[in-house]
Each structure stands twice: as structure tokens, then as C-alpha cells.
Chains A and B, each alone.
Chain A
């Protein structure tokens, strides 16, 4: 049956085969040649970059005492596929969790939106950062829970209950942290320094993450290294930090400040290194370890006394009479006064109906005894004469600007640049400020209280301590910092460069004399001691509540080793708390220990309570 018409149909069928193959080759071309998309997807399928975490740098105090180190912690991992049939109740009991928590956690793990890398075949974090004790208890029962595994990690451990605000803490990065990092370093689950030097030296402490590229099969199981590890990068361990903090001094300071609000900052004048930075109230940094951090953080944040606040650098206070030294320096250098210039003080500064009160002392007084007795009148007259000097300054605004320049040169009004997060700049008013505030009609009398560290002027305790360091150095300071040394890395040059103030050396000598007078026979008599010559200045800062007690000083007078500021909120006269605490601190640092008498005194001060009632700052 040769049917010619039908025989032609072989062409139709042959053509159909050719068309199909042509279409398929076109499709292959589309898939394989036109886009790299599939290649990228294939790589993200099969290649898993496993991060290798470097050890975070340790932190030591200035004498090499280990303060912060890494401790193994244990994450409990679960493989969903294998954990079926586990006695949930028993598990919860062993881990000290309730079944509601268990169910919620399991649901979270399975939620692929919140846990994008989820696979039933791989280990997922069930509970993180168990301590060694918790882990060892659980480990004994582990055999009863198939599908549950232990993974070693490391957490920060703090050796001492001190210096919480300086050390800071680490926690998992927040989405904000990940976005904010310019180098795109962080991934979800990484740790980052949140406070203190952990945060400010994050880059040095964290090291550099390494990575290994692994081949991963469809179930997420690892099947070996990609190209035998050719593209792997080993992690670089974090650098160790040596702080300039003297732990003994810090510990004493924290003890002395118990039951009080306030701050102690001590600086080594020659280097700008911060020897101690005490904040009261404080907290035990060990409470921030591992899983407790969240809970502790929440509790502390709710405390009305604000224990999380680093008052030393973010609290701004009226400096009170400690500020008078800066005024003396300004007036002397500007030639408004000489050390011999005497101003009258009959119970204070009086001008017309204006009166700034003072306590009883001889009158009139020259500069040195005026500092020694902390005469209010003297410094009010000084400022009055400076701002009112129309020969030297064409307008009061010019005089004010000049005054402000001096203040700024001494480190006031702006952030000093300490290597800790959260520093406040304090407040040094300028002419514009008053022009606006008083609509242009103001003069020295309007603002006279700034001469005695009241009014608009506020400083941080760090700035007050730095004033002490500047006077100790007779005219310069190095930006205060808490890190003495970074392993294999020089400090930032701002922490090695001297910053000179506008005041003259002679002026400083006079002020030093005045401060010595205060210790030898003035307001700071309690700081007098047989071992070395101390210079000091009290401050009693008025505020809405009971006066703040302040002290600023340094010792020894020549080649000073320590400059210090003590600020006790609502502590009354500077001599009540500031001076004795400051004296004890200086003794501890210079002598390396406290004398018997001082020990008793320290115990007494440690026990002193200041009642803050319902007062909330």
C-alpha cells in the first residue's frame, strides 16, 4: 500500500522532532548562556560559608590584672528530624524551662521567616549560652534526649565586680548594628560591644572573622571543603587591651561610693590616663554574663537611680567652687588681677540689691587665701571686672567670648574625646546664649554666678578631673582615656598629644599655691597628710535639692601622679564627702595602700548612707 500522500507525513513527523529539539536548545541557551542568575543560585545552594569566630581580645588593668576574658559556654542544639519522641516534660525539667517556653521556642525555630537557614536535618540553636554548671547537669541526661546536641561557644566573663561602666558588655548584634556598620562586617548572630571599651574598641577587640567554604547537600549536611579549602580564610584573633585603670583604686572608689550617687574620676596628669572612673550606683558586670544579660539589663534600666548611667562622663553637674580655679587662671592671664589683688568680701558679693552669699572669713583677701577659703566674693568681683573692662574688651559680648575661649581651652563645653561611648559635653554659655536668653540686655551682674561654678555652667566629673590634671601639669593636658595599651597597635594620637590651655604658667603657679593653701589651712584640711603635699579645691554646688559635695585636687604638688575629681550628689559641703574621699583615693594610689587610720576612715565612709528618698534625678 504505497500511499504517496501518507508517505509525505514523514516530513511532518520529522519536522516536529526538529522543532522540538530546536526549542529545547533555545531553552538551554536561555538557561545556560544568558544569565548568571542560576550560577549564583547554585552557589548559594551548594556552598556554605561557615564563619570561624576569632577569640575576642582580653582586657587587663594597668598592672596586668586580667579583668575580662572568654569562657566556654554551651548552646543546646536540636535537630528537628531526630528529636521526635523526646520526653518533653523531662527535657524541660532538666533545662529548667517550662513547656510553654519549649513550644514557643520550637515554633520559632521552625518559622523560616525568623530563622531563614532552617532545615530539619541540621542543628538549630535551641537554648544559648548555658554556663558550665548548667551544661554539666544537662550533659548527664543528654542520652535521654536524642536529637539534642551541645555546641561550644564562648562568652565574656568578668573577673571582678568592678568597673562595669568602663568595661561595658557584648551582646548579639541588633538589625540596627548590622546596618550601621560601614564595613558590613556583622551578620545576624554575631556579637558586638554594646557599652564601655567593649564598644569603643570593638574593632580591635573583635579581631577578624575567618571563613571556610563548605559543600552542603540538599539537607544541609556538610559534605566536605570546597576546593580543599583553597578559599578558606583563617580568623585573626582580637587584640588584648590593657586599661589605664588601677583596679585596686577602682575597687576602693566603688566601695567608698556605696549608698551614694555620684562619681570619682582620677587621671594620671602626665599621660591623661584615667586611673579610675567610679560611678555610683554601679552594678556587678558579672550579672551581664551570657543569658542573664537581657534580664539584668531590663532590671537595671528600670531602676530610678539609673545604675546604667556612666555619670563620670554623661552626668553634667554644676562644678561649684572647683570652677573658681579656672576663673583665677583666666583673670590672672588676662591681667584682670594679680596674685596680690585683693577684693572685699563682707559675707559675700554685694552690688546694689544683688548678693552672692559667702561664709565668714577675713576681708579683703588676695587670691591665694581666696582660693584657700573658697571666697565667693573674690571671684564674683573678678568676673565683674573682666566683663566690665571696656578698655580691654569693646563690648561685654567680646569679654564673654574671651572668657569662653579660656574655658574651652581647658576642656569645658565640648566633649573631651574620652575613649568611651556616651560622653556629654557639659555647658559653657557664650555671648550668643545670653543675648538670646536676656534679649541682648545683660551684663556681668546678670550672670555673675558662673564665676563660682553655678548658673548655666555644667561640667562632667571627667572635665572636673581633667581641670585638676591641667593644673597639676601647669597648663596642658592629654585627652583623658582609659586604654593604656592596645596589643600590637599604637594608641590614637589624640591620646598622646598635649593640649595647651590659654592660661599662663605663672597663673597656674599661683592657683597651685592657692590649692595647697586650701589643704594646708583652708577648706580641704582633711586632705592634709604627712606623706606628700596635696593641692585641692572643694566645691559645694547648689541645686534644687541638698547641695552636691565636690572635690578637685592633685598630689603630690610637684611631679603630680594623680589628679582627681570627686562628686557626691547631695553630699552637702565639699568638705563633707568630697575632700575625705578624694584624700583616701590619692593615698591609695600614691602609697599603694591605706594606712590603718585611713582604713578605718574608709570603712566609715563606705558605710555612710545618703538618703535620696523618692528623689529621682
Chain B
């Protein structure tokens, strides 16, 4: 490298560190708000209080961050598989030595503290997969071994965490598909995955909401509409461009797009109008029939014209329908009632005995009552008076919403956004695949936590109990996120080293 030798100190990404410290401070302030009791308050720093404990953990995290910055970044590369293996053993052992806390077997008691190994597994898994994918000549799509190996590295901790009955934490690992996408996983697979999740979540969530005078399930209606929109969108995106052929061929190849759009949306529109103004009927059946006809039309058209992308799009539509209805059937017809309920509760789609629906409503009341400027620090009534469940942990964002209002909540969201974008930037500037892959793992995990946690509080995402980084109460998650982030910063700080 031609660059002037730069010390580690000069290469540290100070912006991320400042963001980290700001979020830590805001997080601790919010914990104070969430734990504050109108009955009176002990010393905020007393270790018998949650604020005191959290302050202690913040101190520990800062020290750990400092120590990580002092180590040689090459040890992460060198020891990644060993760290991963050790962590997997720990995860495996955990359920056997853990105390049952509200049905969760993920806590290990270490002296006076309880730790959740699952929170540290994220960092270990990221290291291992980064190491695996940075091996010489690795190409994700290059061989099925590479693909399988990557998947296995991700699936192993997931399985072990599910055994600890922490489905929420396990689901986090799905976020690593974002990293895989960056590393070459075809976009269509990611798209299919995201679509499947959307079909399932929206279809089940609104399955019991009936529209058109109780004739049609809103969930089914929305899913069918999504399939139609996706199909039309793909037809538009993948329609043959000029280089695919002459003018005549192009004109002809746009006809399927127009046909599907006109007949599909026409059916939706007309059946809606018919239901609203003439006589309600189960519009979903009609729309589905039209969709199947259109899908076959696309397949036949693709075969005739030798434009096989139409076949794939048609198959996507059929596959979407098949997936949705088989998922629906398995959930409601095949599974026993209690199994069905467990699935729905785990996915946060149905009220659990404590009432997930209630929690979400209370969370929105708390946030909504904040208004523009919020009620002020320590002045929130909803969170203080415990209307919001889990308010120090999973629902911590309610306290931000209630006490800091729209301005404060937006600032927190924007801070997270800046952090996420900065992580992408940091990952992209890594000279080696190891740093980049690890960086994208960090991005994916943070993104998933912010997406699900705040989405859940705002009533937009299923209720999956995972913490909000740096805000939610709990030493393990705080320490876990700190290590995850600072290992990236340490690797980043070493990017300018000349010899390797």
C-alpha cells in the first residue's frame, strides 16, 4: 500500500464509537424512565435497582470494548472457529445447567449474575462464517459445499437456541441471509424468502378479520393482492429489454405484462366493487381462480415464445399460492389446536395467555400519548404505572415514545439508521472478505433487532421478544452487542496495516 503508515489510533472509526456512546447514554436514561416508580426511588446507581445494574453493565461493556481495541485483530481471524466451537458447546450445555426462568432455559448463573450465552453466539457465529467465507477462492454460488457449509454454520446455533426455548433469538440468525445476499446469494431467493414471510405473517395475522360483510378473509385477500403485485412487478422488471430482440419481439413480449395487470387488477377491482355495492361474496375464490389461470397463461406463453422467464414468473405465482394455502392448511387443519396455538404465539401472531394483543395495544397507547415533545423525562404515566409489559426489556421503546415524543423517538430511529449505514460503509471498505463478511453480519443482526423490536412496539411486526440494542435492560445483550460491534471496529482499525 502506498499510504502513509497510519497507527491503529488514527484508523479507529470514531463516528461509530460516538454513536455507540450516545446510544448507551440514551439507553441508560430510558431505563431510568422505565424503572422509575412514583412511589419514590432509591439511588439510581444502587446495585439493588435495575438502573444501577444497567450502569454496572455499561461500565463492563465499555471496559470490554476498550480491551477488544487493545488486542491484535488477527486473533479474531485465527481463533474464529475455536471461538465458534466453544460457543456451540456452551449453547449445547446451557439448557442442562440453566434455571428455568419463565419457561426459558437460556440463563446461566455466574456468581451473582445471570448470563445468556445465546447473546454472545451472534458474535461467534459471525466470526466463524466470516472466516469460512473468506477462505481462498471461496464463492458462495461456486459450489454446493460452500452454500451448505454457510447454511450449516448459521443453522447450528439456531437449532441450539431453539432448544433453549428462545425462538425469538433463534430467528435473528435468519437475518444473516442479508449478508449472504451481499455475498452472492441470488436476489430471487431472498425475495422468495421475504415474500414467504410476508404471505405467512399477513395471511395469518388478518385471517380472522373479515371484510365485505363477513364474506371474505382480509388476510387471504391481502396475500392474493400481494402475489398479483409481485407477479406484475416481476413481469415489469424482467420484461425483455431492447437487447433481447427486435422491435416486434419486444412489443409482443409486453403483452403478458399488460394482460396480467389488466385481468388481475380488473378482477380485484370489480369484485371489490361488486361486494361493496351489489352483493357480498367470497371475492378471494374468484381472485385466486383468475390468478391460477393467469399463471398457467404465463407458463404456456413462456414455453411457446421460448421466453422462459415468463415460465419462472408463472411458477412463482403458482408457488406463492401453493405455499400460502399449504401453510394455511397445515396450520389450521393438520396441526392440533395446542400446536397451532404454540406456533402462532411463538410467531407473535396470536394472543398468548398473557395477552400479546393487549401488550401491543398498551404499547401504542403509551407511544401515542407522547405527542410531539413527549411528557418529559420520568413523567410518562403509562410506562411508570406498568401498563406496558416488559417495559425495561422488549418494550423499552415505549418509554422513549411516551417521554420523548415524536421528536425523541425519531432521533433514536435516525441514530440507529446512521449506525446501520455506517456499518455498511465500514464493511465495504474492508480490504479482505473476512472483514466485509463480518461487517455485514453485524449489519444484518443490528438491522433485524431494530426492525423487529421497534416494529413490534409500533404494531407493525409480530411480537417476537428480542431486545433493542443498547436500550433494552440486560447485561448479556448489552455486552453481546458491544462485542459484536467492537470486534468489527477492531478489524476495521487494522485495515491500513501494511503487512499481512
Residues of B within 8 A of A218 (CB): 362, 385-387
Q: Does A233 contact B (CB under 8 A)?
A: no
Mask for A2-36, Cβ within 8 A of B = 1, else 0? Answer: 01001101101110111011011101110111010
Q: Does A217 contact B (CB under 8 A)?
A: yes
Nearest opposing residue in chain B for A45, CB measure:
B387
Q: Does B139 contact A (CB under 8 A)?
A: yes
Q: Does B113 contact A (CB under 8 A)?
A: no
Residues of A within 8 A of B369 (CB): 38-39, 41-43
Q: Which of B90-98, B119-127, B411-419, B483-491 contacts A (4 or more CB under 8 A)?
A: B411-419
Q: Does A489 contact B (CB under 8 A)?
A: no
How long is the Cα–Cα vector from A42 to B414 in the complex, in angstroms? 26
Mask for A245-265, Cβ within 8 A of B = 1, else 0? Answer: 000000000000000000000
Q: How far is the CB of B421 from chain A (nearest CB, A)?
A: 6
Residues of B within 8 A of A7 (CB): 428
Q: Does B298 contact A (CB under 8 A)?
A: no
Contacts A6-B183, A28-B410 given; indicate if A38 touches B451 (C-beta within 8 A).
no
Asked if A32 and B443 make an inter-chain contact with CB atoms under 8 angstroms apart, the answer reads no
Contacts A29-B406, A33-B406, A215-B385 given; indicate if A224 touches B420 (C-beta within 8 A).
no
- Out of A10, A24, A38, A215, name the residue touching B368 (CB < 8 Å): A38
Asked if A33 and B371 make an inter-chain contact with CB atoms under 8 angstroms apart, the answer reads yes
Residues of B within 8 A of A38 (CB): 364-365, 367-369
Q: Does A47 contact B (CB under 8 A)?
A: yes
Asked if B387 and A31 make an inter-chain contact with CB atoms under 8 angstroms apart, the answer reads no
How long is the Cα–Cα vector from A3 to B405 in the complex, in angstroms? 44
Contacts A7-B428, A17-B420 given; indicate if A41 touches B365 (C-beta within 8 A).
yes
How long is the Cα–Cα vector from A215 to B385 in the complex, in angstroms? 8
Asked if A32 and B401 make an inter-chain contact with CB atoms under 8 angstroms apart, the answer reads yes
How long is the Cα–Cα vector from A33 to B374 in the complex, in angstroms? 11
Q: Does B424 contact A (CB under 8 A)?
A: yes
Q: Does B247 contact A (CB under 8 A)?
A: no
Residues of A within 8 A of B362 (CB): 45, 218
Residues of B within 8 A of A29 (CB): 406
How long is the Cα–Cα vector from A23 to B461 in the complex, in angstroms? 12
Mask for B169-185, Cβ within 8 A of A = 1, else 0? Answer: 00000000010011110
Asked if B417 and A18 make an inter-chain contact with CB atoms under 8 angstroms apart, the answer reads yes
Q: How far is the CB of A63 from chain B (nearest CB, A)?
A: 53
Q: Which of B279-287, B306-314, B338-346, B452-460 contacts A (4 or more CB under 8 A)?
A: B452-460
Contacts A6-B182, A28-B458, A38-B369 given; indicate if A14 touches B385 (C-beta within 8 A).
no
Contacts A6-B183, A42-B381, A46-B387 given; indicate if A13 touches B454 (C-beta within 8 A).
no
Mask for B424-452, Cβ within 8 A of A = 1, else 0? Answer: 10011000010000001001000100110
Q: Does B499 contact A (CB under 8 A)?
A: no
Q: Does A216 contact B (CB under 8 A)?
A: yes
Residues of A within 8 A of B402 (CB): 42
Residues of A within 8 A of B368 (CB): 31-32, 35, 37-39, 41-42
Q: Does A100 contact B (CB under 8 A)?
A: no
Q: How far is the CB of A145 from chain B (nearest CB, A)?
A: 28
Residues of A within 8 A of B187 (CB): 9, 12
Q: Does B409 contact A (CB under 8 A)?
A: yes
Nearest opposing residue in chain A for B183, CB measure:
A6
Residues of B within 8 A of A42 (CB): 365-366, 368-369, 381-382, 387, 402
Residues of B within 8 A of A223 (CB): 37-39, 384-385
Contacts A1-B139, A27-B460, A223-B38 given; indicate if A32 touches B424 (C-beta within 8 A).
no
Q: Does B318 contact A (CB under 8 A)?
A: no
Residues of B within 8 A of A217 (CB): 385-387
How long is the Cα–Cα vector from A498 to B98 in the complex, in angstroms? 92
How long is the Cα–Cα vector from A3 to B406 in the complex, in angstroms? 41
Residues of A within 8 A of B424 (CB): 10, 13-14, 17
Asked if A46 and B382 make an inter-chain contact with CB atoms under 8 angstroms apart, the answer reads yes
Q: How far is the CB of A543 from chain B (nearest CB, A)?
A: 66
Q: Does B229 contact A (CB under 8 A)?
A: no
Contacts A33-B406, A41-B369 given; indicate if A9 touches B382 (C-beta within 8 A).
no
Residues of A within 8 A of B447 (CB): 13, 16-17, 20
Which among A47, A219, A223 has the highest number of chain B CB atoms within 10 Å? A223
In the complex, how many residues of chain B place their beta carbon closer than 8 angstroms to a beta carbon of chain A?
Answer: 52
Q: Does B372 contact A (CB under 8 A)?
A: yes
Q: How far is the CB of B380 from chain A (nearest CB, A)?
A: 9
Nearest opposing residue in chain B for A44, CB measure:
B365
Residues of A within 8 A of B371 (CB): 32-33, 39
**In residues 176-215 of chain B, which contact A (Cβ within 8 Å)?**
178, 181-184, 187
Q: Does B370 contact A (CB under 8 A)?
A: yes
Residues of B within 8 A of A224 (CB): 38-39
Question: On chain A, which size bracket covers the interface?
Answer: 35 or more
Nearest opposing residue in chain A for B405, CB measure:
A32
- Out of B181, B184, B367, B454, name the residue touching A3 (CB < 8 Å): B184
How long is the Cα–Cα vector from A393 to B37 in the complex, in angstroms? 88
**In residues 132-163 of chain B, which contact A (Cβ within 8 Å)?**
139
Residues of A within 8 A of B459 (CB): 27
**In residues 268-305 of chain A, which contact B (Cβ within 8 Å)?**
none
Contacts A32-B401, A38-B365, A38-B367 given; indicate if A24 touches B454 (C-beta within 8 A).
yes
Residues of A within 8 A of B433 (CB): 1
Asked if A45 and B443 make an inter-chain contact with CB atoms under 8 angstroms apart, the answer reads no
- Out of A1, A13, A24, name the residue touching B458 (CB < 8 Å): A24
Nearest opposing residue in chain A for B417, CB measure:
A21
Q: How far is the CB of A33 from chain B (nearest CB, A)?
A: 6
Nearest opposing residue in chain B for A8, CB measure:
B182
Residues of B within 8 A of A41 (CB): 365, 368-369
Q: How far is the CB of B432 from chain A (nearest CB, A)?
A: 10
Asked if B365 and A45 make an inter-chain contact with CB atoms under 8 angstroms apart, the answer reads yes
Which among B362, B368, B433 has the highest number of chain A CB atoms within 10 Å? B368
Residues of B within 8 A of A216 (CB): 385
Residues of A within 8 A of B37 (CB): 223
Asked if B458 and A27 make an inter-chain contact with CB atoms under 8 angstroms apart, the answer reads yes
Residues of B within 8 A of A14 (CB): 420-421, 424
Residues of A within 8 A of B370 (CB): 32
How long is the Cα–Cα vector from A46 to B384 in the complex, in angstroms? 9
How long is the Cα–Cα vector from A213 to B206 in the complex, in angstroms? 39
Which among A23, A35, A38 has the highest number of chain B CB atoms within 10 Å? A38
Asked if B421 and A17 make an inter-chain contact with CB atoms under 8 angstroms apart, the answer reads yes
Mask for B377-406, Cβ within 8 A of A = 1, else 0? Answer: 000011011110000000000000110011
- Out of B182, B410, B416, name the residue touching A10 (CB < 8 Å): B182
Residues of B within 8 A of A37 (CB): 368
Residues of A within 8 A of B401 (CB): 28, 31-32
Contacts A1-B139, A223-B39 given; indicate if A13 touches B381 (C-beta within 8 A).
no
- Out of A10, A13, A17, A45, name the residue touching B417 (CB < 8 Å): A17
Residues of B within 8 A of A23 (CB): 460
Residues of A within 8 A of B39 (CB): 223-224
Asked if A21 and B413 make an inter-chain contact with CB atoms under 8 angstroms apart, the answer reads yes
How long is the Cα–Cα vector from A27 to B409 in the complex, in angstroms? 11
Nearest opposing residue in chain A for B382, CB measure:
A42
How long is the Cα–Cα vector from A39 to B370 in the complex, in angstroms? 7
Asked if A24 and B455 make an inter-chain contact with CB atoms under 8 angstroms apart, the answer reads yes
Residues of B with Cβ closer than 8 Å to A?
37-39, 139, 178, 181-184, 187, 362, 364-372, 381-382, 384-387, 401-402, 405-406, 409-410, 413-414, 416-417, 420-421, 424, 427-428, 433, 440, 443, 447, 450-451, 454-455, 458-460
- List 11 additional contacts besides A10-B424, A18-B421, A20-B450; criterion CB under 8 Å: A6-B182, A25-B410, A25-B413, A28-B367, A29-B406, A31-B367, A32-B368, A32-B370, A32-B405, A33-B406, A39-B371
Residues of A with Cβ closer than 8 Å to B?
1, 3, 6-7, 9-10, 12-14, 16-18, 20-21, 23-25, 27-29, 31-33, 35, 37-39, 41-43, 45-47, 215-219, 223-224
The 8 listed contacts between A and B (C-beta, < 8 Å) are: A13-B424, A20-B450, A23-B460, A27-B460, A32-B370, A42-B369, A215-B385, A223-B384
7 tightest A-B CB contacts, nearest first:
A38-B368, A42-B369, A46-B381, A217-B385, A31-B368, A32-B406, A21-B417
